[in-house]
Every structure is written in structure tokens, then in C-alpha cells.
Amino acid sequence: MTTLVHQFTLFILYFFAYAFIGWLWETLFEAVKEHRWVNTGFLNGPWQPLYGFAIIGVLLLIQPVQNNWWAIYLIAVVYITVLEYITSWGMEKLFHARWWDYSNIPGNINGRVAIPISLFWGIGGILLVKYVQPVIARWVTHTEDDYGVFAAIVLIAAFMFDFGFTLANMPAFQAATQKLDEAVQKAKNQADDWQNAVEADAIPKMNYVQRRLLNNFSSMKLADRHNSITELRHALRQNRSIRK
């Protein structure tokens, strides 16, 4: 039982360590690109679960070939690409939205994955094994020694609250973006300068979570919407500036 608890604690700590690193990487990258703070996570907290599952999977799969850099590279490329494709497909089916889109990148497959991105994952896998994992391993060992399973329980509780809170906002997010899309479409039908023709009363009120989801996914595509995500964002921001 003690061994099982120990293994469980290590798994959870590794998962959240790499989920945080993935969130930090993507957030900083987008912040530099957009010249503003961007929380790129689907959830509110500082974690990207996809990275947690991806890196733990790579670390497990490379166990027999840790000294073979080509094998590590190929494992990272194939495993993370497959995981990314499945995650993109699953989230689109669940939430009727594509949260990232590689359609503009050469060598993409249905916009869900792209060869250049996949090749980058391979390089990331090698850097992970050589430089990052030793540092994370020391942190995980230190945290497990000091706090034990309590650390894992606290992280899981915070994550589950965040996950549940985000899911609870999804129906309202879908309804709000539908109403926003209708307001933009109506303005386009009435005037060429539609940006200034959107009726303020037709713009739905959106809470922090809903605005964050709309604003922070630069390539998001919503199903059954007539207008682009950029146009919906513009209408929302224009309306908020007028109300101020």
C-alpha cells in the first residue's frame, strides 16, 4: 500500500509539474506574439493537462532506450502527435469548438496536427530528457519527501474545482457566442461599416471565464457560427469600450 501511494504521488507531481511548464511555455509564447498577457490554458489555473499526459507518456515509453537519442526523438514525435490529434478531435466533439488550428501551416493533417510542429516535439523530447527532467525529478523528490501524498491531494482538488468550474461555464459560453454571432451578422446585413452598427443591447454579457476563452485562443474556430472569432472579439471589445 505504501508503495502504491508513493507511485501515485510521484505520478501526480510529475503530471502537474509538466502541465505547469507547458502552460508557462505557451502563455509566454503567445504573450510575446500578441504583446499582451494571454492565458492559453483551456482551464483557469496554470496548467495544460495535455503537456502533463504527453511528457509522462514520453518518459514512460523511452525507458528501454534512454541512451538512444534517435529513438527518443521518434517516440516523442509519434506519441505527442497522436495525442494532440486525439485531444483536438475529442475537445471539438465535446465542446463544438476547435481550440487550435494548424490549417495555415504546411504539412498539417485536418488542421489538428502539423509536421513542423511534430518535428519540434521531437527536439523538445530530447531537451526534456537531457536538461529538464533531472531538475523536475529533484523538485518532485523534494516535494514528496516534505509533503507526501498531501501535495498530490491538494493539487488534484484544485484541478478538479477548476475543471468543474470551466465545464459549468461552457453552455453559457456557447449561448453567448451564438448570440454575439447573430448580432454581428445582423449588423453586417444592415451596414457595410458593421463594426459600428452592432447593437449594444444585442451583445451578451460574458463573465471572466467566457471572455478569456473567447479572447485567448487565437486560432479557435466555433462550430455553426457565420463569423470569425476575430470579428466576434472585435464586437465584444467595441461594446465594452462604448459602455465604459
pLDDT, residue 239, reads: 64
* Contacts with 5 (C-beta within 8 Å, 6 or more apart), sequence order: 149
pLDDT digits over 96-136, tens only? 899 899 999 999 999 999 999 999 999 999 999 899 999 99
Give the predicted TM-score (pTM) of the model.
Answer: 0.88
CB 75 within 8 A of CB 58: yes
Domain positions in the chain are 2-159, 162-243
pLDDT band at 244 (very low <50, low <70, confident <90, very high): very low
Q: Which residue has the cell 451596414?
A: 191
Cα–Cα distance for residue pair 53/46, rounded to 1 Å: 15
Residue (of 191, 187, 192) closest to 239 by Cα position: 187
Set of cell numbers at residue 209: 471565464
3-state secondary structure of 145: helix
Cα–Cα distance for residue pair 5/67, rounded to 1 Å: 30
Cα–Cα distance for residue pair 36/167, rounded to 1 Å: 26
How many angstroms separate the first and last alpha carbons of the chain? 59
pLDDT band at 9 (very low <50, low <70, confident <90, very high): very high
